[in-house]
Amino acid sequence: MTDSKPIIRLFFAKMKQAFYDLPDGEKISFMRKDRNNLDELGMKAVKMIDCRWSNKEWDYIGVEEWPSLEVIEKREKFEKEELEIFKYVESKTYLGSPESFEEYGK
């Protein structure tokens, strides 16, 4: 893998009750802080899937594109230290490199 390829991060997330219990102002502040960091680091949201209606294990599944592994490391540090995301969200992530599906099975 080279540093010139973007990194794809697949995530699974379930909101914890602690998030829902936040006062509306704190929820909005949390989401703005989160979104500002995502934008600053150059994350591109490929797809966000709301699966609350069909899945009890996860509320959301998302696919993100990041400029580099170093940027993801900055993001993970921000999530842990600034957002303290572990208080509000249960999650699982996987990293990979983009590949074309166009020639599959042809």
- Write down the pTM of the prediction: 0.84
Question: Is 87 part of any domain?
Answer: yes
Domain of residue 47, residue span: 16-96
State both tokens at 61: 């599944």
pLDDT score of 3: 53
Question: Is 101 part of any domain?
Answer: no
Task: Give the count of domains, the chain.
Answer: 1
State both tokens at 66: 């990041």
73-93 pLDDT per residue, tens: 999 999 999 999 999 999 999
Question: Is 4 part of any domain?
Answer: no
Question: Is 7 part of any domain?
Answer: no
39-57 pLDDT per residue, tens: 999 999 999 999 999 989 9
Question: Is 57 part of any domain?
Answer: yes
- Maximum distance among all Cα pairs of the chain, rounded to whole angstroms: 53
